[in-house]
Amino acid sequence: MCQVCSTGIDSAGATSFQTTGSGILAATDVIVASSSQIASVADINTALVDQLDSGNFWYLSNGGYTSLGLPSEISFGFPTSGDFASTYTESNGFAAATATQQEAARLAVQLWDDLIPVSLVEAADGNTADIKVSTSSTGVSYAHAYYPSRADMQTTTVDRISGSVWLREGHGNFNNPSPGNYGFQTIIHELGHALGLDHAGNYNGGSPQYGKTSDGWMFAEDSYQYTVMSYFTASNTGADWFAGTSLRAQTPMLYDVMAIQQIYGVDTTTRTGDTVYGFNRNDGHRIFDFAVNAKPILTIWDAGGTDTIDLSGFSANQTLDLREGAYSDIAADLSSNLAIAYGAVIENGVGGSGDDTITGNDAANVLSGLDGHDILTGGAGDDSLLGGAGDDILRGGDGYDIVTIDAVSTEVTIAEANGTLYISGADGYDTLFDDIEAVQFRDTLLTYAALLGEAETAQDEVFDFAAAAMFSYGGTAQDVSVTTLETGSGSLEIGGNTWKLFGLDYNVTENTVLRFEFRTSAEGEIMGIGLETDSSISKNLFFQLAGSDSWGTGGFSYTGDGDWQAFEIPVGEFFTGNFPYLSIVVDADSGAAGLAEFRDVQLIEDAAAPVDPVDGGIRFDFTQSTIGSLADQGETVAAIERTDNSFLFTGNGWKTFDLNYEVTADTIIRFDFRSSVEGEIQGIGFDSDGRTDADEFFQLAGTQSYGISGFSYTGDGDWQTFEISVGDYLQGFMTSLLVVNDDDGAKQANIEIRDLVIFEESEGPPSASDETLDLSALAISGYAGQDDRVTALERTEDSILLEGNSWKSLAVGYDIDENSYVSFRFRSDAVGEIIGIGFDDDNSLDKTELFQLGGSQSFGIDDFVYTGDGEWQEFLIPLGEYLSGTKDRIYFAADDDGNEAASVELADIRIFQMDDSPASASDAFAAETPPADILPLVEMLPPDMHIDDLPFIA
């Protein structure tokens, strides 16, 4: 039998459950749904979904152990006797579950039942239920469960113990298991095993460490944040679930939903009405009632209707993202604590009284900010945005989007800057971007274009200190005293020991420049100017101009000796986004009070110079492109160096450069890259909307997995050339080039890029030269997701050696016709399973494109056989007789899943036209998107094999 989960330690990086005992393998001849059928989202880790699917499930039978399909019902109950486990140790110390434990188990069962079409029903007699929940003082260290088997069968000992859940009798965690505590999460976890879910990694007891593959850790998402079947706390993946005490998952989480639906199918009847989650909830589940459950940590599955998440009772600043698979930060002191399941569509979002950020999805959303300075962003649908009271920022996205302002159109003031509208009135001072189509006032609906025509031009206006609202900044510890304060329409004189904010509301882009004049006759300790998002001090948003202490961003020093000095600070190179405040600091905790004067303060948009075109594209000049940052990524910049053809970045950040390039199917990017300190995510990409998007990013290095893979840096600190066929992965207008050096932990990673060009390969592959392929110069990467275990890889200019179990590809573009040939020398001293050479244009396995030269298995064209017995053998293959069309890579197979001992060496590779002089492809490009892993064949059980004959699972 399979006992899943026993005692362990609940802490970061340590186990919370343990598995002991042996296991039942259920029949595997029924497939209900695959992860690709549940949702088609690029960033789903399907390998984790498959890991959670143990292959065991409840099934119908005719008395044997062959599945006849899924049952319509699975029963659960609470035994009053341990007789059903009479041959197991647990029966010796059996104790019936308490009333409190039964109540918690019923709620947990209901949460699983919401996800699948098979009904989970409580049995009249708990002693004969499929899933039996009990406690015991023997054989149970903490908690464990047995995998499922035949439904509604109690014939054998195996039937009776299968799917049973055991809690340690008398353990404190189970005295009062309730949503949010560890005992309740444990019950959800054990019921997951009883339904057929496995752990999230290759561990089964002990104390594995997060990130340590030798302990069985496999996936970056392996934490409670993503699955209750994990051993690791949510903090390992960046979530903060501590609010005075450590909190735990209250429902099955994001990947649990996908995995259980992969096994049993998708429940399309769960909450199909117009459901409200949160405050004013109407779904009947107290766990989704935030008036009762004030610290929610949950995933929402919803099958239909027009639904709403209502956060109106919360006063903290919150982030609500309605997109499927997205996490939100709701309630005070928590982050990444609410997820929307893949396949669930929530149409509407309501914020609270804090400064909230609400993001819509592809449906027609109604987003309401209520009070506070809110940021509302619609998705692809026709959205309605209601900012509410406060100074709000409103973006529509695609679709026909309408903003509602609770004022008469003639009673508001409308200004315009750079195509952005600023509307002040009864609701506050709202910023509307040009992806809004119309504004609904109390009296009329006006189009955005009509409002632009009525607006006063606000661009490049001098900041009016006298008219702006002024606030304290940083609390009483910073805003101590003001000895001088004089505000004019375009000037400010301020002295003392004070930190002040002035109402602003400006959307900083990569082109934004802060222009002003400044002078001081008493510097104090810190003196300068900046922008702020709230009243907490932010060092990276502040520019120090003078002072004896060092704080904020330097490089802008006052040297006027009491006279006025003009400054122009390209703030868009340091940060972007909307900022409601201008900050002014005159800090003098000790000594004489400081005195500062500012005048003619302006925020202007200064468009960058165009990039230099080359070969129908651009030769990138890093000094001429404005540098910025993605607004949703924090950063710590240790060093930035730019020349006309290179960029070096040390620290932690996601940097953007003005690009404005239309990426087509033929677009190629070529550059040199090196890194001497690896971070978490390092690479290059494109941006079209100021947000992180894994589909627009090519990862080159890093300990974490993010973006498009297949382009690995192997230079060990030296330069490596990359050429990426961008158009194979993304197309459309890209506003920015993105360079990522993400290192949230150490903040010491570095990357350097040089000689970057972007061009169109509209005329087909580059012309061939009459040289042998330079194998050391071509970009190398894994091929078709088959590059598993490389024990040796060596390259020279004219040869390549592979050992282990490996498929490698080199970026070589060539147009094959009937006169095309390839010649090379080949040798191998270990046969392996599949050995050969091939050509490809889509990074997927195709045996009609591989010339198999050797191997114990048959895969590919077998007209060219290696017989050299470890010695060199020359091959000449008429490519045109087998292949045709443009190929963008040549690949080598050294496949040996069993022994990892395959050895392949090729040399003097030439691709040429027989009617021309021998030639090789040059200026090659790589373009790789690993598809889903090709699954190994699994030996099926003979139909008459009894379950007791099956091997145990430890």
* pLDDT per position as a tens digit, 424-448: 876 788 889 889 999 999 999 999 9
916 versus 401: which is more confidently predicted? 401
Say what the pLDDT of residue 14 is. Answer: 28
- Shared-domain flag, residues 219 and 101: yes
Residue 650 binned pLDDT confidence (cut-offs 50, 70, 90): confident
Strand-pair partners of 793: 802
Say what the pLDDT of residue 917 is. Answer: 31
Per DSSP bridges, beta strands 681-687 and 526-532 are: unpaired
Say what the pLDDT of residue 788 is. Answer: 54
- Shared-domain flag, residues 359 and 482: no
Residue 360 binned pLDDT confidence (cut-offs 50, 70, 90): very high
Q: At what angle do helices 182-195 and 254-264 cross, to 10 degrees?
A: 20
Q: What is the pLDDT of residues 20-55, one digit of tens each?
A: 222 222 222 222 333 333 333 347 999 999 999 999
Say what the pLDDT of residue 640 is. Answer: 77
CA distance 787 to 781: 9
Q: Which of 258, 261, 178, 260 is nearest to 221 (CA)?
A: 258
The answer to whether residue 871 sits within a structural domain is yes
Residue 315: CB atoms within 10 Å:
14
- Shared-domain flag, residues 878 and 736: no
pLDDT at 80 over 80: yes
The answer to whether residue 323 sits within a structural domain is yes
- Shared-domain flag, residues 17 and 65: yes
Give the mean model confidence (pLDDT) for residues 254-268: 97
Residue 456: CB atoms within 10 Å:
11
User: Tokens representing 177?
Assistant: 């298991």
Query: Residue 41: which domain range?
Result: 3-255
Say what the pLDDT of residue 762 is. Answer: 55
- Shared-domain flag, residues 756 and 801: no
pLDDT at 205 over 90: no
- Shared-domain flag, residues 600 and 624: no
pTM of the entire structure?
Answer: 0.54
Residue whose token pair is 């490049």: 460
CA distance 249 to 381: 32
Say what the pLDDT of residue 850 is. Answer: 92
Least confident stretch, 14-18, 142-146, 672-676, 863-867:
14-18
pLDDT at 160 over 80: yes
- Shared-domain flag, residues 859 and 725: no
The answer to whether residue 941 sits within a structural domain is no
Say what the pLDDT of residue 538 is. Answer: 85
- Shared-domain flag, residues 135 and 45: yes
| Domains of the chain: total | 5
> Residues 382, 423: contact at Cβ < 8 Å?
no
Residue 479 binned pLDDT confidence (cut-offs 50, 70, 90): low
- Shared-domain flag, residues 421 and 557: no
- Shared-domain flag, residues 450 and 497: no
Say what the pLDDT of residue 933 is. Answer: 25
Least confident stretch, 200-214, 311-325, 380-394, 744-758:
744-758
Among 428, 457, 486, where does a domain finish? 457
Say what the pLDDT of residue 353 is. Answer: 94
For the ranges 333-347, 555-569, 575-589, the maximum mean pLDDT occurs at 333-347
Residue whose token pair is 């094959």: 816
Q: What is the pLDDT of residues 590-611, one digit of tens each?
A: 777 789 999 999 988 764 333 3
Give the mean model confidence (pLDDT) for residues 827-835: 84
CA distance 229 to 441: 50
Say what the pLDDT of residue 317 is. Answer: 92
Average pLDDT, the chain: 82
DSSP 381: S
**Annotation marks residue 680 as catalytic:** no
The answer to whether residue 262 sits within a structural domain is no
- Shared-domain flag, residues 594 and 667: no
From 190, 324, 510, 905, active-site residue: 190
